[in-house]
Amino acid sequence: MPATVILGAQWGDEGKGKLVDRLAEEASWVVRFQGGNNAGHTVVLGDSVLKFHLLPSGITRPSCNLVLGDGMVIDPWVLDKELQGWMESSGEDPRGHRLFISERAHLILPYHRYMDSLDTKIGTTGRGIGPTYADKINRVGLRFGDLSEVVGDDAWASATSERMNAALVAAGSSERVDAKGLQSDVAWIHQTYEACIANTGLMLDNALKLEEHVILEGAQGCLLDIDQGTYPFVTSSVTSHGNATHGAGIHPGHVKDVIGITKAYITRVGHGAMPTELDDEAGHHLGTVGHEFGTTTGRKRRCGWFDAVVMRHAQRINGFTGLALTKLDVLGGLEEIKICVAYELDGQQITEMPSSASALARCKPIYTSMPGFPEMSLPEWLAMAVHANEAGKGIGVLPTAAQLYIAQLETLVGVPCVSVGVGPDRDATIDCL
């Protein structure tokens, strides 16, 4: 069975965790292939709300194996905290049994967090992601597979701490790295994760040859991609389809379906232009009804109307075979719903995103309007979704205006919807026919 790639098609926070959790029921493996704990996935199971930053969303499926892939940067202390929480709630320690860490994944160390805390321009999460990727590119980073080589190596600890402290001084930080402390950290990390460090690319390749279903789970979103996003207000890794297999350690031929996750509107956290951002009653409605606060940082998300220009860019980069539309229920109760179909830039109409952040900031949205549909409670939306799937009715159960809105998005992006989310619960998702 080929691999399936699940990607964010906007600026992140689109609801990837919920979809992956749902699809993981029929998958053998869920793999994170990039990013670190600057990502956040929320999975709602009835009254339980589970929030993960590093553990793949398939953790809730006992038969599903989990991989933190080659392209990730991993904070071992954050991962340990997540594992401790999972063990307390489930009684399971998955390390080495169904959770595996790539020997090629890079370690986030305290130094990287110190450096990241100095950011005042981009609006990063401060988790050390960018500085860790910088060390990776500069070929001075530490990988999980190298831990056994440097444990107890005084010369390595001394040289590494000197390099780190020189960089901290140059950056104006008052923090310092102690060689003995670094040695102690490396020893603890090695002891804590030795059982689950593995050649995960080989494991996945063998699984695919045995026709096991593998889900490649992206973090952040296409518009935060270091190459294809709204640079410089982006993350530090390639978040798009091109990196999915590479960051997992397998070849692109394994992939058949690429699902792009998109909200029925759009949100963004951090700095950078967002042409459809709303600072009015409709924006307040989206933020309040949608509970738009970041899983990782708790920061309030900026909200705006659906942006088809953004989505066409995401489609060109990723080649989505289907769209998973989330949070359609949040639009309920609005009399009018707008969709951005183009921009006005310096008096000219354009239909593609400019690469310049300054130019994007000058873009004014050009909208088409559609009628709204009634507000319903979350239990009503959930009941509608369950009925739709049990009866095989698909989106035919939705209000006519909602069906027309979905059809318009499909036309503008050029990709069919494969599912529609109408609430936070795992089962509040309608499978499209």
- Residue pair 243/5 in contact (Cβ under 8 Å)? The answer is no
- Residue pair 233/52 in contact (Cβ under 8 Å)? The answer is no
pLDDT of residue 21: 84
How far apart are the C-alpha atoms of 13 and 223, rounded to whole Å?
Answer: 12
259 DSSP β-pair partners:
6, 322
Active site residue 13: yes
pLDDT of residue 413: 97
Site of tokens 């493996």: 29
pLDDT of residue 43: 67
- Residue pair 9/241 in contact (Cβ under 8 Å)? The answer is no
268 DSSP β-pair partners:
302
pLDDT of residue 296: 60
pLDDT of residue 122: 67
Catalytic residue among 13, 21, 116, 135: 13
What pTM does this model have? Answer: 0.92
Catalytic residue among 41, 213, 241, 285: 41
How far apart are the C-alpha atoms of 263 and 327, rounded to whole Å?
Answer: 6
Q: Which residues, given as ranges, of the chain have pLDDT below 70?
A: 43-46, 120, 122-123, 294-297
pLDDT tens digits, residue range 134-161? 999 999 999 999 999 999 999 999 999 9
pLDDT of residue 39: 75
pLDDT of residue 297: 63
Which structural domains are found in the chain, ordered by start? 3-141+193-253 (3.40.440.10), 262-431 (3.90.170.10)
DSSP characters over 350-403: ESS--S-HHHHHH-EEEEEEEE------HHHHHHHHHHHHHHT-GGGGS-HHHH
If you count them, how many residues does the chain have?
A: 433
**Beta-carbon neighbour count of residue 174 at 10 Å?**
7
How far apart are the C-alpha atoms of 107 and 340, rounded to whole Å?
Answer: 41
